[in-house]
Amino acid sequence: MKCKGKIKEKTKKGRTVERDCNNKLTEHQIFCDKCGEPTGALSGPLSAKQNYKEAWDQFNKVKSKFYPFSIFIILTAFLLIGLGISFSKNLAEIFKIEQYLFTNLMLLIFIPFVLIPFALEEDFLKNHFTISQYFRGLRYYPQYFLLTLVNILYFALLKVLCTGYKLGITIDPILHLVRLVLVLYWITIVFPSVILIIRKRVNAFKAIVLCYKASAETRWQQFFLVVRIFLYNVLGAALAGLGLLVTIPLSYVIIERYYKKLDEFGLFEKPREKE
């Protein structure tokens, strides 16, 4: 495949002319390394819209077999998180711990249970879920615990810097908007790390660094993907919670699928040093 971009060159007479680039492109290249022309990857294989559509087309054919999975996750991991947050105020008073800190403690303990399914199998669609699979996946709890801890500490830092929490100082209201932007930006960048730490066998810190570097060109697509996942789950919850039977497993499928696309393009690999 050749690049269809244009490059400007100077002739022997000093005139600047525009020529076809015609640089040979690799299969998984996002931009031409000669003229910088986009290859179409961001509107094709790495497109949030296309990945969602392809994931749904595959998932829709087998969605009924994931109902037991959805029920199990809702009645275990999500229920634990819900109960932990709901009773955090009362429990915080009992243990004499500030509610914000106690709520985050509950999230730190229970969120890893939501992430365990990312460690079950490499192809979520082709494997029939069993409870025994989930319990085998619990061996990855420590990795997900550390990943959750890193995220909580980052969000806590934003709370301190952008709201004046525990500082006892007045903060410009605009910083609340800044905090929201930084939270969304963080989630957009790091969501592939939930699979990366298992597939690449790296710790949470390295996974986040790799995700940051990998998302240099795909951040907007990842943002659109995260927004889609969030909105569809909100819609699923609004339908008396029944829609979650579909939207929860679909979310796992979409995230795994996009991780694979990023990996196919070699975006998690270290850049080669120039000889």
pLDDT digits (tens, 9 = 90+) for 159-168: 999 988 888 7
Residue 271 has pLDDT above 60, yes or no: no
pLDDT value of residue 273: 36
Q: Is the pLDDT of residue 150 over 90?
A: yes
In sequence order, which residues have a C-beta less than 8 Å from that of residue 216 and are 6 or more positions away? none
Q: What is the pLDDT of residue 274?
A: 36
Higher-confidence residue of 242 and 121: namely 242
pLDDT score of 72 more than 50: yes
Tokens of 227: 């927004």
Task: Tokens for 151, please give them.
Answer: 């995220």
d(CA 158, CA 164): 9
Reported as a single tens digit per residue, the pLDDT across 234-251 is 999 998 889 999 999 999
Beta bridge partners of 8: 18
Position 265: which residue type? F
**Cα–Cα distance, 234 to 171 (Å, whole number):** 32
CA distance 161 to 155: 10
3-class SS string, the chain: CECCCEEEEECCCCCEEEEECCCECCCCCCECCCCCCECCCCCCCCCHHHHHHHHHHHHHCCHHHHHHHHHHHHHHHHHHHHHHHHCHHHHHHHHCCCHHHHHHHHHHHHHHHHHHHHHCCCCHHHCCCCHHHHHHHHHHHHHHHHHHHHHHHHHHHHHHHHHCCCCCCCCCCHHHHHHHHHHHHHHHHHCCHHHHHHHCCCCHHHHHHHHHHHCCCCHHHHHHHHHHHHHHHHHHHHCCCCCHHHHHHHHHHHHHHHHHHHHHCCCCCCCCCCC
Q: Phi and psi (nearest 5°) for 9?
A: -130, 155
Highest averaged pLDDT of the listed ranges 56-65, 93-102, 223-232: 223-232
How far is Cα 217 from Cα 225, in angstroms, rounded to an integer? 14
* Separation CA 160–CA 182 (nearest Å): 13
The residue type at 77: A
Scored b (16 or more CB within 10 A) or e, 170-200 reads eeeeeeeeebeebeeebebbbbbbbbbbbbe
Between the alpha carbon of residue 274 and those of residues 35, 206, 270, 271, the distances in Å are 19, 23, 12, 9
